[in-house]
Chains A and B, each alone.
Chain A
Amino acid sequence: MADERIDLPQGTLDLLILRTVALGPQHGWAISERIQRISSDVLRVQQGSLYPALHRLERRGWIKAKWGASENNRRAKYYDLTRSGRKQLEAEESAWRKLIAAVGQVLETA
């Protein structure tokens, strides 16, 4: 099972975080869990890159952070998508899809 895990290509982590946060406010651990779960454990987010990425996205103004109480009553920092973050997400999604399609096409025909 460990063999099936792949490291994220450069730049895709931001897209995944934005997509995940788009579903509703989440804290850091939940974001990484969710990415892992939805990708059926294929994608694994390194904590070492998760938090710097979160803080960078926050600085860019695409997500905003707010402290709140989690399910088990622990104080946690929740990240939520901002309006400009949503625009960014749309742009990155379509760019990604185009990339996938193009790469796929090359692989099929070449």
Chain B
Amino acid sequence: MLSDLLFRLRAFFRRKSMEAELDEELHAHVAYQVEKYIQSGLTREEAARRARLEFGGLDQMKEECRDSWGVTLIEALLRDVRYGLRQLRRNPGFTAVAVLTLALGIGGNVAVFSLLDTVLLRPLPYSHPDRLYMFFPVEAKSQRAMVASSYPNFQDWHEQSHAFQAMAAFHGESFNLTGATEPERLDGLSITPGLFALLGIPPLLGREFSSNDNPHVVLLTYELWHRRFGGDAGIIGKSIHLEGRTYTVLGVLPPHFHFPPDRWGSAPEVLVPVIPNPERGWNYLRVIGRLVPGVSEQQARTEMKGIAARLAQAYPNTNRDQGIALDQLSQAAVSDVRQTVWVLLGAVAFVLLIACTNVANLLLSQGATREHEIAIRTAVGATRSRIVRQLLTESLLLAGMGGALGVALAYWTLPLVASAVPQHTSFFTRVHDAGLELNSTVFIFTVLLSVLSCALFGLLPAWRTTKPARISGASLRTGRIRGALIALEVALSFVLLAGAGLMMESLVRLLEVDVGFRTERLLTMDVNLAGEKYSPAEKQAAFYGQVLQRLESLPSVLSVGAIVELPLTRSETRNSFEIPGPHPRQGLAGYHAVSPNYFHTLGIPLLSGRELLTADSARSPLVGVVNRSMAQKYWPDENPVGKTIIAVRIFVQSTAKGSSIQFKPQELEIVGVVGDVRQLGLDALPDPELFMPYTQWPSNEMALVLRTASEPFSLIPVVKKEIWRVDPDQPVTDIKTMDELVSTEAAGRRFVLQLIGVFASIAVVLAAVGIFGVASFWMHQRTHEIGIRMALGAGGRQIVWLVVRQNAKWILVGITAGVASALALTRLLAAYLYAVRPTDPLTFVAVSLLLLAEGLLAVHIPARRATKVDPLVALRYE
């Protein structure tokens, strides 16, 4: 088989030498024959004459030999290609429209596919990533998976499991790095020894942690090593300052190392050993393991189930009803966006289908104008399959050119996609880590897609065009096919438009949400204090007090506030509280330590009672302010002001040995009620929130909010300078305006909307072009008929109506089919919709009207032209 192919290819590509050899071989034969005759007594002339006569037609024999070389097939194909190219060149307008249409369809698919490749297909940059698994403790009753586990549980899993050759645990943390230059807040990761051996990534310099290392050792990423330490080759063994303590550098990681590869891990730059916490109920570690080669996922699951059961029996207080779920790291890392990628690919596939429908329609029109040529070719003996092959070759050429241009389009759009990717999603992490690129997988996809689209748009027209005896009534039938294609196009566009419309409405409603405060000219920043340096906690409150005072006095600062967790950042500490009385009740609320001026700075209205005051100090009675939701939920019929609640205070003590945690109930009096704020996010309805003075509930992690008189960013240098006057080693991080926070909140939806919006726009344009093309063709075919009608006295309006009626029918069919498909498909977008149902009637009606208007407009232009037909010319037509 292979040798056969090689022979054919040699025959094809080394044609000249094959010909020469054949010539020589045949001449040698004749020469032998001549010699034989001479030996038998003939004269040389007579011998030569007889030999040549016997041999017969040389050229015909050569032709037969060539046939046995098997090159005719290749040659025929090449002829088809040449002929096809000539055809395409002869109709530059048609070719340009078809290629451009296909390029839009294929290019969009290539771009989305390369996103899919990056997010779902390309392996994570660790050794044998398919054997890396994440562990999730599961509450057996609710089947709710948690992210973190405790240190003792991790140790027990590690010791008892045989299915995993290695296990490691880690948790995210941040550190204040101080030293020669500006203090910096770094994302960090606490890890157990052996994580790097488990990942199969050896450090570039030095070594990773071992269990004998003291807790104050650190690994640096390559990037941090270059940024902060100038790539100092002698860094190993040197000291750096984190959280005001000295850490010894043990190693430097290779470039582009990133772990964990999911959206929760920001970008850790320093890695330190995990401080073990001996409490089994303190879940703070995420656990990863490497499966022993040959062990199946099922075996591992069964084993972990057994371990979980044993632990549940041994430690019922903490582990009762706790199972352990496993998920491949590569799966767990992109769980948030997997469905989105497929939805996007589905949406862009619709665009390609519309493009193919358009090109199929163009080819049908072409076929009609080529009837003559095809008739002649059939008359001189070409079979139908031969002509179909010719037409398909032309389609393949179109698809190839469309594909090539599509790749170019994708190449040009990929940087745009990469920059639009929303933060805090796996899109961002994976694109940031692996980049978007046109690699071999994407190229293979492109080639397959081009061939597939060629089949989609080429087969039907080739079949129709070559159908024998297509003179009578056939054009009526193609009319129906064209109509069906138009309906298909309209239906597909409908789904895309409905999706984009729903998304757009969601985004608008989301951005219109009343967040409960004024967002303009608010500058926010995180000022997180090093725990050990600012201990005991009174020091923390003292620091923030000084900073707030200094910032208040800045000329363009109208007001300053501080809070532990800013609104719209998707994080807050929720805890329980008790309402004492003869029938004590339990409640749940977000706990926030704030500065007195916080409400005034944000513009949160006071509804009753009083705000927090500077006078509420560490030595005065504990007080708190609740929001409207909390007041309504727990004191529906009375005013909570003056009531007492028992709140839980958490003390986390971190020492070199480990961290310990204590809960202490404390009574506090509610002194005021303030308005609701969207604390968790734009789309999260307000929950009960409890605000307490930071002097009474000190924290080392507070965010500052400044209402500024001028453009907020211009204040950054002054603000930093004032903070550094209090502590020159204090990092100021995450400086943003509140408007930016709002916009980041909507980023995920905006990204999906942008892509679907682009696809829908392309779909609308393509559909308009398609409808226009079909209507023009219809009019062109009927010029004769129109001429007769006009000659018999039909007015312009009647002619327009004739054309519109013919085509509007199919547009309406398309809209109906579109409504049905959209009803079934927009559900897939539910996760991205806000305050809009997937079947929102308003959107559906608007899209229907839009498509109807567009269709009628596209039909109207050729219809108007039809009325300009001169009956005399029309009657002579054909």
Bound complex: CA A67 to CA B25 (Å): 10
Q: Which residues of B contact A61 (CB under 8 A)?
A: 3-4, 7
Q: How far is the CA of A8 from the CA of B799 in the complex (A)?
A: 74
Shortest Cβ gap from A27 to chain B (Å): 7
A29's partner among B7, B8, B28, B61 (CB-CB below 8 A) is B28
Cβ contact within 8 Å between B55 and A58: no
Are B67 and A52 interface neighbours, CB within 8 A? Answer: yes
Known: A51-B61, A52-B65, A52-B68. A60 touches B4 (CB 8 A): yes
Given A52-B61, A52-B64, A55-B65, A72 contacting B35 (CB threshold 8 A): yes
A74 CA to B24 CA, complexed, in Å? 11
Residues of B within 8 A of A46 (CB): 56
Q: Quick check: A47 and B56 within 8 Å, CB to CB? A: yes
Residue pair A29, B69 in contact (C-beta under 8 Å): no
Beta-carbon contact of B69 and A55 below 8 Å:
yes
A34 close to B (CB within 8 Å): no
Shortest Cβ distance from residue B36 to the other chain A in the assembled complex, whole angstroms: 8
A-chain residues with CB within 8 Å of residue B24 when the two chains form the complex? 75, 77
CB within 8 Å of B: which A93-107 residues: none
**Interface membership of A56, Cβ < 8 A:** yes
Q: Say which residue of B7, B11, B55 sits within 8 Å of A47 (CB atoms).
A: B55
- The answer on a CB contact under 8 Å between B28 and A59 is no
B-facing mask of A39-55, CB < 8 A → 1, else 0?
00000001111011101
- Bits for B121-158, please: 1 = Cβ < 8 Å to A, else 0: 00000000000000000000000000000000000000
Return the CB mask of B1-17 against A: 1 if under 8 Å, else 0: 00110011001000000
Q: Mark A55-99, 1 if CB is under 8 A from B, else 0.
A: 110111100000100101011110000000000000000000000
Q: Chain B residues near A47 (CB, 8 Å)?
A: 29, 54-56, 61
Shortest Cβ distance from residue B74 to the other chain A in the assembled complex, whole angstroms: 13
Q: Is the CB of A76 within 8 A of B28?
A: yes
Instruction: Report if A28 contacts B (CB, 8 A).
Output: yes
> How far is the CB of A49 from the nearest CB of chain B, in Å?
8
Q: Is the CB of B7 within 8 A of A58?
A: yes
B332 at the interface (CB under 8 A from A): no
Query: In the bound complex, do residue B28 and residue A75 qualify as a contact, i.e. CB atoms below 8 Å apart?
Result: yes
* B21 beta carbon closer than 8 Å to chain A: yes
Q: Nearest residue in A to B57 (C-beta to C-beta)?
A: A48
Which of B7, B29, B70 is packed against the most chain A CB atoms within 10 Å? B29
* A48-B56 Cα distance, complex, nearest whole Å: 7
Is B472 located at the chain interface by the 8 A CB criterion?
no
Bound complex: CA A61 to CA B29 (Å): 23
Q: Which residues of A contact B61 (CB under 8 A)?
A: 47-48, 51-52
- Partner of A77 from B25, B32, B36, B56 at Cβ < 8 Å: B25
What 1/0 flags go to B163-187 for Cβ under 8 Å of A?
A: 0000000000000000000000000
The reply to whether A27 and B28 form a contact with Cβ atoms under 8 Å apart is yes
Nearest A residue to B3 via CB reads A61
Chain A, interface SS category:
helix
Which chain A residues border B26 with CB–CB below 8 Å? 51
Chain A residue numbers with a CB within 8 Å of B25 are 27-28, 51, 76-77
B283: Cβ under 8 A from any A Cβ? no
Nearest opposing residue in chain B for A74, CB measure? B28
- Please, which residue of chain B has its CB at the minimum distance from the CB of A61? B3
| Max chain B C-beta neighbours (<10 A), residue from A27, A59, A77 | A59
A74 to B27: give the CA distance in the assembly, Å. Answer: 11
User: Least Cβ distance of B21 to chain A in Å?
Assistant: 7
CB contacts (< 8 Å) of B55 on chain A: these are 47
Among A51, A55, A74, the one with the most B-chain Cβ atoms within 10 Å of its Cβ is A55
Minimum CB–CB distance for A72 against chain B, Å: 7
- Chain B residues lying within 8 Å of A75, measured Cβ to Cβ, are 24, 28
The reply to whether the CB of B31 lies closer than 8 angstroms to some CB of chain A is yes
Measured in the bound complex, the distance between the Cα atoms of B313 and A53 in whole Å is 83
Known interface pairs A47-B61, A72-B35, A77-B21. Does A55 touch B68 (Cβ–Cβ under 8 Å)?
A: yes
Are B60 and A29 interface neighbours, CB within 8 A? no
Option from B7, B64, B70 in Cβ contact (under 8 Å) with A48: B64
B-chain residues with CB within 8 Å of residue A76 when the two chains form the complex: 25, 28
- Is there a chain A Cβ closer than 8 Å to B33's Cβ? yes
Chain A residues, Cβ within 8 Å of B56: 46-48
- A28 CA to B26 CA, complexed, in Å: 9
> In whole Å, how far is A82's beta carbon from the nearest beta carbon of chain B?
9
Identify the closest chain B residue to A46 (Cβ): B56
Which residues 26-42 in A have Cβ within 8 Å of B in the complex? Answer: 27-30, 33
CB distance from A75 to the nearest CB of B (A): 7
Interface string of B277-304 (1 = CB under 8 A from A): 0000000000000000000000000000
Cα-based distance from A70 to B28 in the complex (angstroms): 10
For A33, what are the chain B residues with a Cβ–Cβ distance below 8 Å? 32, 36
> B31 touching A74 by the CB < 8 A rule?
yes
| CB contact list, B410-467 vs A, under 8 A | none
Q: Chain B residues near A60 (CB, 8 Å)? A: 4
Contact flags A8-36 to B (C-beta < 8 A → 1, else 0): 00000000000000000001111001000
User: Which residues does chain A contribute within 8 Å of B31, judged by CB atoms?
Assistant: 74
Which of A52, A53, A59, A70 sits near B7, CB closer than 8 Å? A59
Q: How far is the CA of A46 from the CA of B29 in the complex (A)?
A: 12
Q: Determine how close the nearest CB of chain B comes to the CB of A14; give it in whole angstroms.
A: 11
Measured between beta carbons, the chain B residues less than 8 angstroms from A70 are 28
Closest to A53 in B: B68
The smallest beta-carbon distance between B49 and chain A, in angstroms, is: 16
* Contact B65–A51 (Cβ < 8 Å): yes
Task: Tell whether, in the assembled complex, residue B33 and residue A59 are in contact, meaning their CB atoms are under 8 Å apart.
Answer: no
Residue of B nearest to A32 (CB): B29
Contacts of B32 in A (CB 8 A): 29-30, 33
Q: How far is the CA of A78 from the CA of B57 in the complex (A)?
A: 23
Interfacial chain B residues near A53, Cβ < 8 Å: 68
Task: Name the A residues within 8 Å of B21 (CB-CB).
Answer: 67, 77
Inter-subunit contact A29/B4 (CB<8 Å)? no
Provide the residues of chain B in CB contact with A30, threshold 8 Å.
Answer: 32
For the complex, give the distance between the alpha carbons of A77 and B69 in Å: 16
A104 to chain B, nearest CB (A): 33
Residues of A near B67 (CB, < 8 A) are 52
Chain B's nearest CB lies how many Å from the CB of A88? Answer: 13
Tell me the minimal C-beta distance from B348 to chain A in angstroms: 45
Bound together, the chains give a CA A48 to CA B8 distance in angstroms of 21
Provide the residues of chain A in CB contact with B65, threshold 8 Å.
51-52, 55
> Across the interface, do A59 and B29 meet the contact criterion of CB distance under 8 Å?
no
A residues less than 8 Å from B64 (CB atoms): 48-49, 51-52
- Please, which residues of chain B bring their CB within 8 A of the CB of A51? 22, 25-26, 29, 61, 64-65
By beta carbon, the residue of chain B nearest A29 is B32
- Which residue in chain A gives the minimum CB-CB distance to B28? A76
> Please, which residues of chain B bring their CB within 8 A of the CB of A52?
61, 64-65, 67-68
Asked whether, in the complex, the Cβ of B33 is within 8 Å of the Cβ of A29, the reply is yes
CA gap between A55 and B582 in the complex, in Å = 107
CA distance A72 to B61 in the complex (A): 26
* Contact present for B60 and A59 (CB under 8 Å): no
**Neighbouring B residues of A77 by C-beta, 8 Å:** 21, 24-25, 28
21 A–B contacts, CB within 8 A, in A order: A27-B28, A28-B29, A33-B32, A33-B36, A46-B56, A48-B57, A48-B60, A49-B64, A51-B25, A51-B26, A51-B29, A51-B61, A51-B65, A52-B61, A59-B69, A61-B3, A61-B4, A67-B21, A70-B28, A76-B25, A77-B28
Interface residues of B (CB under 8 A from A): 3-4, 7-8, 11, 21-22, 24-26, 28-29, 31-33, 35-36, 54-57, 60-61, 64-65, 67-70
Other than A29-B29, A59-B8, A77-B28, give 12 A-B pairs with Cβ distance below 8 A.
A28-B28, A29-B33, A30-B32, A47-B29, A48-B56, A51-B29, A52-B65, A56-B68, A59-B7, A59-B69, A70-B28, A76-B25
Please provide the 8 A-B residue pairs with the shortest distance between their CB atoms, ordered closest to farther: A56-B68, A29-B32, A61-B3, A52-B64, A55-B68, A59-B7, A29-B29, A52-B68
